[in-house]
């Protein structure tokens, strides 16, 4: 699935519909810092082992009274303020998350309630695991091109609640956080035009990665809790195989269809699975010129939040300049893929 504008278009798409732009961006990281020394002993490893394997030094975690909607709300307010858009002007709120507060209602509705968004605003969550945020960008772009208005797209996860302290393969990976963007007509007043988006998948069995229990197949019970089936489980080796096999040709096809080459890209913002994974992306994709942006070493894998958190970090530091292009790419359990190409203002 791809939506795109012409290579040189500034005010409208190739079919005459209004272009969509990022009008504002924001993020929210909880205050609790989890260092490697707090995780090493329960997992039966050393701090040095964690750093060597993952490249992650710290990550954030929610407090006892915080949940995903609290993080999402913090990021939403920051993005709205940055955009100069009021919650009353929103026509759509989308939250990409795999760790909602409750099975229902959706996090987006809880955010809408807290923001006092209008009843005319559509609200829903997207469960595409770590690709949820970019999936939301693609869905929102299509909606706004067709109907106009303003959309709030959020990526938020609290994986610390689903972390198995004894699992050395995964316990050090996860961090909590949220990032958000406000999308609207652009790019005249926007931070960055959404040039193109693409969604893809490589369906695999659930054992490759995910949370087994708590849904309709394995409802919560003493047995599922005792078996640790409410913790995140991952076959890291298989996930990396899928990533290596699929992402390079997907990126090449995506850019070719949008009229861009890898040499035209100034910045790459990938999903922050772990720092070592991010560091391997230039060699995997075969690029040397684009600047790679990472935050996993500081925040860990924040799931659907990792791309907007990393992008907001780069923007806040002035690392992305006017006229530069940004390629964002994500992979999530399932496996799900999302790609977004932006031209920054």
Q: At what angle do helices 68-83 and 107-115 cross, to 10 degrees?
A: 50
Residue 79: closest CA among 316, 271, 266? 316
Query: Of 2-6, 171-175, 340-344, which range is least confident?
Result: 2-6
Work out the number of other CB atoms within 10 angstroms of the CB of residue 136. Answer: 32
Is position 52 annotated as part of the catalytic site?
Answer: no
Q: How confident is the model at residue 67 (pLDDT cuts 50, 70, 90)?
A: very high
Peptide bond before 125: cis, by omega within 30 degrees of 0?
A: no
Report the domain count for the chain. Answer: 1
Quick one: pLDDT at residue 186?
79
130 is catalytic: yes
Longest dimension (CA), the chain: 59
> Which of these is catalytic: 106, 267, 271, 274?
271
**What does the buried/exposed string (b/e) look like for 62-76 if buried means 16 or more CB atoms within 10 Å of the residue's CB?**
beeebbbbbbbbbbb
Residue pLDDT, tens place only, 264-293: 999 999 999 999 999 999 999 999 889 999
Q: What is the reported pLDDT for 288?
A: 87
| Radius of gyration of the chain from its Cα atoms, rounded to whole angstroms | 19
Instruction: Report which listed range, 12-26, 53-67, 229-243, is most confident.
Output: 53-67
Structural domain boundaries enclosing 44: 1-345
Position with higher pLDDT, 186 vs 269: 269
Residue 114 CA to chain centroid, in angstroms? 22
Candidates 284, 251, 274, 268; CA nearest to 319 is 268
**pLDDT on residue 207:** 84
* Active-site position among 106, 267, 274, 301: 301
Paired tokens of 86 = 């009021």
Neighbours of 321 (CB within 10 A): 10
Minimum mean pLDDT among 99-108, 229-238, 329-338: which range?
Answer: 229-238
189-219 pLDDT tens trace: 667 899 999 999 999 988 888 999 999 999 9
Residue 188, pLDDT above cutoff 80? no
Q: For this structure, is 246 an active site residue?
A: no
Closest CA to 133 of 266, 285, 330, 335: 330
Lowest mean pLDDT among 7-11, 33-37, 190-194: 7-11
Which residues, listed in sequence order, are joined to residue 154 by a DSSP beta bridge? 95, 180
Whether the model pTM is above 0.95: no
Please choose, from the candidates 216, 213, 111, 110, the residue with its C-alpha nearest in 3D space to the C-alpha of residue 164: 213
Q: What is the DSSP string of 51-67?
A: HHHH---EEEE--TT--
**Candidate list 36, 106, 130, 274, residue with the active-site label:** 130
* CATH assignment of the domain containing 195: 3.40.47.10
Average pLDDT of every residue of the chain: 93
């Amino acid at each position: 699935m791809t939506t795109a504008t012409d290579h040189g278009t500034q005010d409208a798409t190739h079919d005459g519909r209004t272009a969509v732009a990022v009008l504002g961006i924001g993020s929210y990281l909880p205050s609790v810092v989890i260092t490697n020394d707090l995780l090493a002993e329960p997992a039966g490893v050393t701090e040095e082992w964690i750093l060597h394997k993952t490249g992650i030094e710290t990550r954030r975690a929610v407090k006892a009274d915080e949940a995903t909607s609290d993080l999402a709300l913090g990021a939403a307010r920051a993005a709205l303020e940055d955009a100069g858009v009021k919650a009353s002007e929103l026509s759509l709120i989308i939250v990409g998350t795999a760790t909602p507060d409750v099975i229902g209602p959706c996090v987006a509705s809880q955010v809408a309630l807290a923001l006092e968004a209008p009843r005319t605003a559509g609200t829903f969550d997207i469960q595409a695991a770590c690709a949820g945020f970019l999936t939301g960008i693609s869905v929102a772009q299509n909606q706004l091109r067709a109907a106009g208005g303003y959309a709030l797209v959020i990526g938020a996860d609290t994986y610390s609640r689903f972390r198995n302290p004894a699992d050395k393969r995964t316990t050090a990976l996860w961090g909590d956080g949220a990032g958000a963007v406000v999308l609207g007509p652009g790019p005249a007043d926007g931070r960055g035009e959404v040039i193109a988006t693409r969604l893809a998948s490589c369906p695999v069995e659930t054992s490759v990665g995910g949370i087994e229990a708590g849904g309709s197949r394995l409802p919560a019970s003493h047995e599922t809790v005792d078996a640790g089936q409410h913790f995140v489980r991952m076959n890291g080796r298989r996930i990396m195989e899928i990533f290596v096999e699929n992402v390079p040709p997907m990126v090449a096809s995506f850019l070719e269809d949008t009229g861009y080459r890898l040499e035209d890209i100034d910045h790459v913002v990938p999903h922050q699975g772990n720092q070592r994974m991010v560091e391997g992306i230039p060699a995997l994709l075969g690029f040397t010129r684009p600047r790679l942006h990472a935050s996993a070493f500081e925040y860990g894998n924040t799931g659907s939040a990792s791309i907007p958190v990393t992008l907001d970090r780069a923007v806040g530091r002035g690392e992305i300049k006017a006229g530069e292009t940004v390629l964002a790419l994500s992979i999530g359990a399932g496996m799900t893929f999302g790609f977004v190409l932006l031209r920054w203002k």
